Amino acid sequence: MNDAQQACAALERPVDQPERLPLAALLALATAGFITVMTEAMPAGLLPQMSSGLNVSQALIGQLITVYAFGSILAAIPLTIATRGWRRKPLLLSAVGGFAIANSITAVSELYWLSLIARFIAGVFAGLLWALLAGYASRMVAPHLQGRAITVAMLGAPLALSLGIPAGTLLGTLVGWRLSFAIMTGLTIVLVIWVRWLVPDFAGERAGHRISLRQVFTWPGVRPVLLVTLTYVIAHNLLYTYIAPFLQPSGLDAKVDRVLLVFGLASVLGLWIVGVLIDRWLRELVLISAALFMLSALTLGLWRNSPSLVYTAIAIWGLAFGAMPSLLQTASAKTASNAADTAQSMLVTLWNVGIAGGGLIGGLLLHDFGAGTFPWIVAGLLVLTLCVTVNARRHGFPPAG
């Protein structure tokens, strides 16, 4: 750790960090993540209903997800830097409250352009929220519990993907998409009360001790974590975004919901395993996650026509991916210490770039070469992921000890 990191780490560190996980507070952060992912992905499950309600094509409704990601990409770094001096709890409440506003507008909007603006606003607040969560969770506990705390705080994302999105789609079918977004607003208001009541507050960074974005970026270990994030997320989203056409040879394209449920449940299991081991075996778990994903990709590439092997490979992929968000955010938070929020803002930005990049690369490959090329490109990206992780032994992904 260099001098700037040591100085930053010493700032505003809580004196009495609990030796047990403050589950009520951490689950509030997990609920914030759940709401974020639900808000982002709900239009994907409600395309026909929203298309009819706003009188535009389903392709245009799909852009409600694109503009959300665009808002996160644009806002995460500058907004995090601009608010570094704010106390953490009011900032967290502001980010959560932004979702109540955005989802309320979405629920009542009759105009497509107004819905686009609401979705962009939601993406802006999502960028800020994801930049906050890992650093917030790590400050609640002693250093040897930081990985487990971050894992609990990240629980909302896989739960939203595996259970929340299917439930939200069913709810939208039963009660309509507008009421679904209104229900999300109600859940957000409950979360605001929860945060005010049970989540501790922390000071922001003092003006004279703030570390610049450039300094944080050049700290040993930060860039390897960011590069691993980018390559892994591109690999994941290249395959995940176009899973339906990829499944056609196995006949599972008509059962995408079941395939994604297997993926989601395996992701939750992966997150649980990581929660037990992360504080002792972070480096090893990153390597295992990338290796399992590669094994899954190679299986999908070689036996794409076999439904049973496809299901097995999807479960392995889900197990690997469920672990990775917590691992990367923990590695980033530990590497950047009390500049974690700045480092997390870069990670969030690259995560969303990876989402967009995976969709773009996958679309080009699908158009020019077909979905059969996906596993081999994914495997190549994961070779790079593994190489960077192996070489980041001193900083970024150090061994336990």
| pLDDT tens column, 289-343 | 999 999 999 999 999 999 999 999 999 999 999 889 889 988 998 888 777 788 8
Q: With the C-alpha atoms ordered 213, 216, 217, 223, is the resulting torsion angle positive or negative?
A: negative
Q: Answer whether residue 164 shows pLDDT above 80.
A: no
Q: How confident is the model at residue 188 (pLDDT cuts 50, 70, 90)?
A: very high
Fold match flag (20-207 vs 213-391): yes
Instruction: Return the percentage of the chain with pLDDT > 70, whole number.
Output: 94
Which of 104-113, 205-214, 216-225 is the least confident region? 205-214
* pLDDT at position 6: 46
Please provide the CATH number assigned to the domain covering 213-391.
Answer: 1.20.1250.20
Sign of the dihedral through C-alpha 308, 314, 318, 319: positive
Mean pLDDT for 62-66 is 81
Least confident window among 84-88, 100-104, 307-311, 355-359? 355-359
**Residue from 137, 139, 136, 184 nearest 36 by CA:** 184
Mean pLDDT (the chain) is 87
Q: What is the pTM of this model?
A: 0.81
Q: What is the mean pLDDT of residues 200-216?
A: 79
Q: Could you tell me the pLDDT band of residue 8, with boundaries at 50, 70 and 90?
A: very low
Q: What's the Cα-to-Cα distance from 273 to each of 106, 306, 323, 349, 365, rounded to whole Å?
A: 37, 28, 8, 27, 34
pLDDT tier at 10 (50, 70, 90 boundaries)? very low
Report the alpha-carbon distance of residue 100 to residue 94 in Å, rounded: 10
Q: What is the pLDDT of residues 118-140, one digit of tens each?
A: 999 999 999 999 888 888 998 89
Q: Residue ranges per domain, the chain?
A: 20-207, 213-391
- The dihedrals phi and psi of 56, each to the nearest 5 degrees, come to -135, 170
Q: Are 12 and 205 in contact (CB under 8 A)?
A: yes
pLDDT exceeds cutoff 60 at 4:
no
What span, in angstroms and rounded, lies between the C-alpha atoms of 195 and 95? Answer: 12
Measured CA to CA, the distance from residue 301 to residue 298 in angstroms comes to 5
How far apart are the C-alpha atoms of 399 and 393, rounded to whole Å? 7
Are 381 and 261 contacting, i.e. CB atoms less than 8 angstroms apart? no
Q: Which residue did the predictor score with more confidence, 281 or 279? A: 281
Q: Which fold has domain 20-207?
A: Growth Hormone; Chain: A; (1.20.1250)
| Least confident residue range of 20-29, 38-47, 379-388 | 38-47
Of these ranges, 185-194, 203-212, 334-343, the one predicted with the greatest mean pLDDT is 185-194
- Whether residue 356 is predicted with pLDDT greater than 50 in this model: the reply is yes
Identify the residue with better confidence: 215 or 190. 190
* Confidence bin at 108 (pLDDT 50/70/90): very high
Question: What is the per-residue pLDDT for 5?
Answer: 47
Q: Which of 332, 131, 322 is nearest to 226 (CA)?
A: 332
Q: Looking at the chain, how many residues does it have?
A: 401
Of 164 and 138, the structure prediction assigns the larger pLDDT to 138
Q: Of 34, 129, 112, nearest to 72 (Cα)? A: 129
Q: Which of 355, 350, 353, 345 is nearest to 130 (CA)?
A: 345
pLDDT given for residue 28 in this prediction: 96
Say what the pLDDT of residue 254 is. 80
Half-sphere exposure of 318 (CA within 13 A, CB side): 23
Q: What is the pLDDT of residue 154?
A: 83
Above pLDDT 90, what percent of the chain? 45
The token pair that represents 76 in the structure block = 């995460």
Task: Determine the pLDDT at residue 209.
Answer: 63
pLDDT value, residue 290: 96
Average the pLDDT over 24-47 and give the result.
Answer: 88
Segment 360-369, tens digit of pLDDT = 888 888 888 8
Lookup result for tokens 């979405």: 106
Whether residue 264 has pLDDT greater than 70: yes
